[in-house]
Structure 1
């Protein structure tokens, strides 16, 4: 007796949804499964990812796919144009013909990435044919291009149902950026990665939940972000630190901001009301921000003073991620903070310290929380050297006085990871759109 093929008995509309979620080549290959499946791919919403098309003949193959597909479009992704099109006068016409294809009608996801902008060479403009998807796009990503309308003549790009927007290495003016954001009334996540020509971004949105920003370098980089009113904003993710983060961030109203970081030693300049941080250094303090629960810091020289200043500004912190490269200060605290300890309400439940060396500085830093964080549940100490022996770890427990921990339920994990693509120092841009976890940094631990 033949095994019952329950999948093939599903309605066409369900099978079409399944096929449209497969990689491009796998979706097309479902036609050979059986006669029952033969028409499904041609009528299912098209998922066309040029990563799934062999680059040697991508232009011809994309054209054939679009000509044979009669159904609506779901997704069209061109991650790096130079892999598929030689950027010449003819390439614009080829891309325009693809986007005009009926196979892409009602497109929901569009990604066009021309690659990095070359100095002295004007970037290619955003194809005008992309505008025809404005009423249906839910996910959009534009990279290495320019030509964004400024809206002065009523020609701003209107994306009424767009929820996710990525801008990589685009050339865009202040007015064009504001017109673009104003045309996205239900936007939930925004990534601005290394823009050119835009000095200031003003955020005024009641739907935006996540912002990821990497401002770039030089005179044409993003220099200021002003969060005027973002009542739903939960995440402000600073995707690099150091020289690539030379910008000012002014938060006027973001009452539900929970996740913040990573903040470097010198950049950015971050202001909440009258509280101002220049990188990790507290410049002035009056405003308290109780909403922030998760904070990520990049502290070259590990400093307890820095962390205590942040805890004063963010008194309800639950989780602290801190990456360090050097031994840092002595972090002697018993006399220095003798009076503060009785008044400072440390609510931290989890601390992750990257590149823990076991030096006196690092021991003193961690021991402060071992002996004073009454609600601590977990401390993860990521080791720099995998050769640390069991005896070394046992000695660290003694130095940290973990047996005398003030939170009896606290656990202390010494870990080493040989390979971690998303280490805190190199947080990926994808977390700007990833709502699969309440803590955007947890995947990098």
Structure 2
């Protein structure tokens, strides 16, 4: 009997040792486990409580990452909603500090309760104390007035680092302006805010690094005076803007970079799926000496003023100032034109990357004395040229050929083919003949004919917030291209 008891005890110890060796994660400190749980989707984080007694208190005390957008799922083409009571329970059950709260109230089951009151109640929960990231969207409203910005947002003034306020309205004037001293990232989308309130809000964000203004109403002009901003993304609103007549102050018409000494990128979103092409907008660059990335500039953009150089649409009206800081330029042109691009290259003499999306077939881009004079008097520093919706016709080929024959440091030319082109070896060989690739100025250039099924384009048909705020990539168009063009096929390259 004693031998049997010892044997059982030995096996028990061996099992415990094996379990201890297997479950090494549970041996980590509570703080590390809390960080792991915080990174999980909300439901999965809460479910870790059932793993063992060791894990039971981790979720309740870990920094709360409550993403209600991920909680809402779509099955069989219908929205499976999360109830307001479920969210209230999560907030009441959690004892740890709040880190992130993200919601779209239009997808929540509110049982006819006022969305503004529900959101305000959630934001007052102790579980969200010291909140660092707040994103909410009341839902797209076709008619004003929109719900007011919750007054409870004020209590996060000393901790909030990321904020997205969408589908709401702001108090008029400076009295109710938010003061967010550590905020680094701000998105205002489908919001109603007056010009004075917007300026007061921006003035109350002394650490702001990236700003997105999309489809807002209540102001027609924005002056940027910030010594911290690195990136601005803007969608002024739809061109067929009937809501303009119902909105006090209208929509954005004039963006003025008055004093932005560290601004590196200005991204202009030309369209959004729900509202069509963007309306006309003027851009004045008074002082932005480090502006490195610009675009996409599109045909119906009224005026671009860079110092004393003025573009009206694609036409160069006055040329007195150059902007050597701009190295990445994106254009959305109805017709591909060397005249337009050469004018921009005169203004941006240090341009290294050029992205062009073409809408129409284009017109003649033959060689002229003006082009020859430009080549003789200017140093073309382009290293990369990307043409989207390339048709391979004479107009497009002549346009591309200009860079093939004259860009001496060109490293890459990417030709994304127009959908519907019938591909063949003969077609690609003919393109190489039309482009004169054998006579290329840069011997190290790589030519890629690229084809992709489905939607193409320089900018997605919806506002890409990540593209507007992601400062980790040196070229936001490359980063976006990689995310949205999965499935590319490189048909033929030439080394």
Paired residues for 1:274-313 under 5 Å: 274-313=308-347
Local SS of the residue matching 1:364: helix
Q: TM-score, normalised by structure 2?
A: 0.85
**Cα offset, 1:278, TM superposition:** 1.8
Deviation string 1:31-90 (CA, Å, 9 cap, x unpaired) is 122222111100001111112335544201001100100001001111x31221559664
Which residue of the other structure, out of 427, 436, 440, is the alignment partner of 1:405? 440
Local SS of the residue matching 1:337: helix
Report the Cα distance in structure 2 between the residues aligned to 1:350 and 1:15, rounded to whole angstroms: 45
* 2:193–2:217 Cα contact (<8 Å) kept: yes
User: In the alignment, is residue 73 of structure 1 matched against residue 94 of structure 2?
Assistant: no
User: In the alignment, is residue 417 of structure 1 matched against residue 452 of structure 2?
Assistant: yes
After superposing the two structures, state which structure 1 stretch, 86-95 or 431-440, moved more: 86-95
The equivalent of 2:181 in structure 1 is 160
* 2:270–2:459 Cα contact (<8 Å) kept: no
User: In the alignment, is residue 32 of structure 1 matched against residue 50 of structure 2?
Assistant: yes
Gaps of 5+ in 1: none
The equivalent of 1:115 in structure 2 is 139
User: In the alignment, is residue 180 of structure 1 matched against residue 201 of structure 2?
Assistant: yes
Which residue of the other structure, out of 194, 200, 225, is the alignment partner of 2:215? 194
Report the Cα distance in structure 2 between the residues aligned to 1:110 and 1:8, rounded to whole angstroms: 30
Gaps of 5+ in 2: 1-17, 73-79, 245-249, 482-495
Which residue of the other structure, out of 426, 429, 453, is the alignment partner of 1:394? 429
After superposing the two structures, state which structure 1 stretch, 193-202 or 9-18, moved more: 9-18
The equivalent of 1:4 in structure 2 is 22
Report the Cα distance in structure 1 between the residues aligned to 2:293 and 2:441, rounded to whole angstroms: 26
Q: Tell me: CA distance 1:9–1:425, structure 2 relative to 1, closer, same or farther (3 Å).
A: closer
The equivalent of 1:246 in structure 2 is 280
Aligned length: 441
Q: TM-score, normalised by structure 1?
A: 0.95
Q: Tell me: CA distance 1:408–1:143, structure 2 relative to 1, closer, same or farther (3 Å).
A: same
Which residue of the other structure, out of 340, 355, 360, is the alignment partner of 2:374? 340
Q: Tell me: CA distance 1:166–1:37, structure 2 relative to 1, closer, same or farther (3 Å).
A: same
* 2:357–2:457 Cα contact (<8 Å) kept: no
* 1:289–1:315 Cα contact (<8 Å) kept: yes
Deviation string 1:282-329 (CA, Å, 9 cap, x unpaired) is 121110000000000001111011000000000000000000022212
Report the Cα distance in structure 1 between the residues aligned to 2:93 and 2:463, rounded to whole angstroms: 37
Q: Tell me: CA distance 1:129–1:149, structure 2 relative to 1, closer, same or farther (3 Å).
A: farther
Larger radius of gyration: 2
The equivalent of 1:44 in structure 2 is 62
User: In the alignment, is residue 207 of structure 1 matched against residue 228 of structure 2?
Assistant: yes
Local SS of the residue matching 1:407: coil
**Cα offset, 1:223, TM superposition:** 1.1
**Cα offset, 1:248, TM superposition:** 1.1
Local SS of the residue matching 1:441: helix
* 2:172–2:194 Cα contact (<8 Å) kept: no
